[in-house]
Amino acid sequence: MPDRPRLRDIPAHAHGRFRHDPLMWCLATGFDFLNWFDGFSRLPDTRLGRPQEYCDVVVTERRLVARDQSVVALSFELPGGGELPSWSPGAHLDVELPSGTRRQYSLCGDPADPSRYRIAVRLIPDGGGGSAEVHRELQVGSRLRIGLPRNAFPLAVGGHNQRTSAVRLIAGGIGITPILPMITLLERTAMPWSMIYCGRSSDSMAFLPEVANYGDKITVHCDDESGFATPAKLLGDLAGTPAVYTCGPPLMVDMLRAALAERPDVEFHYERFSAAPVVDGQEFTIHLATTGEVVTVGAEQTALDAILTARPDATYSCRQGFCRSCAVRVLAGTPEHRSTALNSHEQDAGYFLPCVSRAEGSLTVEL
């Protein structure tokens, strides 16, 4: 039997899922089945061949959830009340802001509550403007459109023959948002778990009172008091914990990936704040079929960035290969898919994610 690829051999993606565990798969399958049984008609259809489905919602609650007032939590409900489509821990929403900008935000409420969605957004003064618009424009009573939930960071998926005895959760900064619903599910399934929550300072960390409800299962680490957390501190005792889930800054995620490179017994799942760098890139060209333009994609450049130089109006959002907003159809050439966001049927249909995927030679795309 051939050896399994080791973690270090796999190029970095926006999120990772390796060495999957059958017990965690069963938990996830059962959770998804309960959602299906409870409300099949509420489940969103996220197949790529169909346009992203949106619905209109109203902001029903707005709270500042960090002591330095840098993080705002918003709750969305249907204008006339009723049940929203089901979701599972790790899911995110596409939020269409008043300016028309679209951004993705993790759901951080209770998956068992179909009446509302909750997100939390940290203000990034020098960011792309989305967080500032959320903080400035969205108030109780504001109406906006959201895409139905999609999940690029699910709590449980199946795979190799291992038995999960516990789960280790690691949250860095605003990375607490997709982790909170995971805690809720783990508590309901009685799966043993522990977590470390890291931040620059206690003032900047969101949801601390909510986190405190779980007692000594959660360790809060503040960099300004204790220095940066080491991989050993972040991972804790992994003797009986083959499942690790983390969301946080790229540096933290990369540090954990390196620390776990020699631990094939540990299942590692992660989500980044920002796009991973291009790994092992080769220069190639893209022909834009509608205009006849040819753009060159540099070895360290994404295909999306190259396309935007010729078509600045091209649709995109997350830049990490999970929202699928930038998907285009390939008319000629063979793409090198570097994202798990497209299933085999979508790939066979010719879809391609230029934000993360590449090609050898050249591609002609429907743009």
Query: DSSP string covering 285-328, please?
Result: EEEETTT--EEEEPTTS-HHHHHHHH-TT---S-SSSSS-TT-E
Beta bridge partners of 242: none
Encoding tokens for residue 211?
A: 């986190």
Output the pLDDT for position 313: 79
Please compute Rg for the chain using Cα positions.
21
Give the other-Cβ count within 10 Å of 31's Cβ.
21
Residue 46 has pLDDT above 50, yes or no: no
Encoding tokens for residue 324?
A: 């699928």
Contact between 173 and 205 under an 8 Å Cβ cutoff? The reply is yes
Which residues, 6 or more positions from 210, have their beta carbon under 8 angstroms from its beta carbon?
180
Calculate ∠ Cα 159-161-166, nearest 5°.
Answer: 85
Contact between 35 and 43 under an 8 Å Cβ cutoff? The reply is yes
Output the pLDDT for position 242: 79
Output the pLDDT for position 161: 46
DSSP one-letter code for 5: P
pLDDT in tens, 168-220: 999 999 999 999 999 999 999 888 999 999 999 999 999 999 999 999 999 99
Encoding tokens for residue 14?
A: 């926006």
For all residues of the chain together, what is the average pLDDT?
Answer: 84
Average pLDDT rounded to a whole number, residues 35-59 = 59
- pLDDT band, very low/low/confident/very high, at 116 (cuts 50, 70, 90): very high
Q: Percentage of the chain surpassing pLDDT 70? A: 82
**Quick check: helix, strand or coil at residue 16?**
strand
Contact between 195 and 219 under an 8 Å Cβ cutoff? The reply is yes
Residue located via tokens 């470390």: 196
pLDDT in tens, 69-87: 999 999 999 999 999 999 9
Contact between 317 and 326 under an 8 Å Cβ cutoff? The reply is yes
CATH numbers and ranges of domains, the chain: 54-151 (2.40.30.10), 166-271 (3.40.50.80), 284-365 (3.10.20.30)
- Cα 335 from Cα 337, distance rounded (Å): 6
Which residues, 6 or more positions from 312, have their beta carbon under 8 angstroms from its beta carbon?
none
- pTM (2 decimals)? 0.76
Average pLDDT rounded to a whole number, residues 45-49 = 46
Output the pLDDT for position 20: 47
Helix or strand holding residue 58 (H, E): strand 54-64
Output the pLDDT for position 57: 98
**Quick check: helix, strand or coil at residue 222?**
strand
Output the pLDDT for position 275: 66
Output the pLDDT for position 319: 81
Pairing relationship of beta strands 117-122 and 71-77 according to DSSP bridges = antiparallel
pLDDT in tens, 248-292: 998 999 999 999 998 988 999 998 776 667 777 889 999 999 999
6-10, 36-40, 99-103, 178-182 — which one is most confidently predicted on average? 178-182
Nearest to 296 by CA among 362, 353, 352: 362
- Cα 128 from Cα 104, distance rounded (Å): 13
- pLDDT band, very low/low/confident/very high, at 34 (cuts 50, 70, 90): very low
**Region of residue 90 (phi > 0: left; psi between -120 and 50: alpha; otherwise: beta):** left
Higher pLDDT, 242 or 145: 145
- pLDDT band, very low/low/confident/very high, at 137 (cuts 50, 70, 90): very high
Furthest C-alpha separation in the chain: 61
Nearest to 265 by CA among 241, 246, 245: 241
Output the pLDDT for position 52: 66
Q: How far is CA 214 from CA 63, 66, 180, 217, 241, in A?
A: 21, 18, 11, 6, 19
